[in-house]
Amino acid sequence: MFQGITRISTLEWEVPLGFVPGMRVPGRFFLSESLEKLLEPGAVQQLANVATLPGIIKNSLAMPDIHWGYGFPIGGVAAFDLTEGVISPGGVGFDINCGVRLLATPLAQKDVAGRKDLIENLYHAVPTGVGAKSAQKVTGQVLDAGFGERNDLVRCEEGGFMKDADPQQVSSKAKQRGIPQGGTLGSGNHFLELQVVREIYDEVAAKAFGLFKDQVCCMIHCGSRGLGHQTCTDHIKILEAATKKYQIKLPDRQLACAPISSHEGKAYFGAMAASANYAWANRQLITHTTRNVLAKMFSIDYGEMPLVYDVAHNVAKFEEHIVNGKKEKVCVHRKGATRSFGPYAPDIPSELSPIGQPVIIPGSMGTSSFVLRGTLTAMERTFGSTCHGAGRVMSRTQAKKKFSGRDVMASLALRGILVKAPNEAAIADEAPEVYKPSEDVVRVVHDAGLSLLVARLDPLGVIKG
């Protein structure tokens, strides 16, 4: 481990005060010995930088999928006092409310075996790639009927809608970028993946979540597309000026921020919340398309494919947490981190309250994904947060130089995993080897008690952007 960092327990490490000048709280991160060798010095530096921000509470935190990002490390979590604290786009990211949802089906693996046309049909139905535009034909009749089941909103974090959203703070350019992209996957690490429930670790939780062994599920991972990216770009410029206006000293300009209570801070939060709502709508439209394809191909009812849950992993939200023995409302930034609320916490569907919030952690292409449940330990130690995925260990440029998309496809096909993407480059830079092992990352949060394993899902076929 790097000089100056101390090990607190088997899985927890501390970046002490003074690691960088101006730290207000220590940094804490969770990591196993097997993942230690993949830790980037730049990500640790960013974790320490976050600890210098005004109003930060307890610790600057990072999950085991920690890697270098914009401003905050990806895998970063920080909570801020509402009076003295700040809000920062670097703690949310450009893809506002990039998130993941899991759709259950009544199908078993044997029902889809040999159906190569399933991935083909989904690929042609769900637009993918850079600049992809929606195929949805929205009419008044369709709008009245909606694009889903009544219970879908219940099974979304925040009920799929942040109430403090302010569309007036979203620029016309951002809206113009977003209008044609609703219901599209986009590019990069976004995907739609058919999976099979390979292993159940917690029978009670799995039953509550509607999961059973050998079940076919569909995982959807995407965010706010061009609208969210433009919103972040627009407000970073405003907050860079606000940083100077409010005389906030920063070790990194990518941490541009403003007091939560300031005009600039409120404007960013309103725009970010509106972009987050767009992302939930985007994933809902993809869910609608997916259900229609599966219903038609397998003669199953649209309503037989319930949403297990939808989680955000790039967002800032106002939440109540215990701080110094008292319940306080704070602003929690999660940048590449997933909410992991424990049993009986607020904002959990009543039927799942005794179990805890479903936590969905996707693997990399060709590796296992996991469903876990939130814990009281996470509420106490990480503001109800856990990891969000495997975490990259190689840049896209490096990946394209090292891997051939064609070879990756062939290797996955030998394992019975079908892959469709707009081009081979989109497959090469998402090769499984460019990520940390998802099982190792998830094992850390399970053993640390930040979320507990419920089920393991293995890929059958994947659509990449």
List, by residue number, the catalytic residues: 388
- Residue 73 is given by DSSP the state P
From first CA to last CA, the distance across the chain in angstroms is 36
Whole-number CA gyration radius for the chain: 21
In angstroms, rounded to a whole number, what is the distance separating the alpha carbons of residues 125 and 300?
Answer: 18
Q: For residue 174, what are its two tokens?
A: 């951002």
Question: Distance between CA atoms of 463 and 126, rounded to whole angstroms?
Answer: 9
Compute CA 385 distance to the chain's CA centroid, rounded to the nearest angstrom: 11
Residue type, 458: D
**3-state SS record for 80-118:** EECCCCEECHHHCCCCCCCEEEEEEEEEEHHHHCCCHHH
3 state SS of 196? strand
Is residue 445 within 8 Å of 386, Cβ to Cβ? yes
DSSP letters spanning 227-252: HHHHHHHHHHHHHHHHHHHTT---S-
Contact 290, 147 (CB under 8 A): no
User: Residue 321 in contact with residue 343, Cβ under 8 Å?
Assistant: no
Contacts of 169 (CB under 8 A, 6+ apart): 235, 267, 268, 270, 271, 274
CA angle (103 as vertex; 112, 314 as ends), nearest 5: 135
Structure tokens belonging to residue 417: 């995993």
Question: Phi and psi for 193 in degrees, rounded to 5?
Answer: -130, 130
Q: Which two tokens stand for residue 372?
A: 């876990």
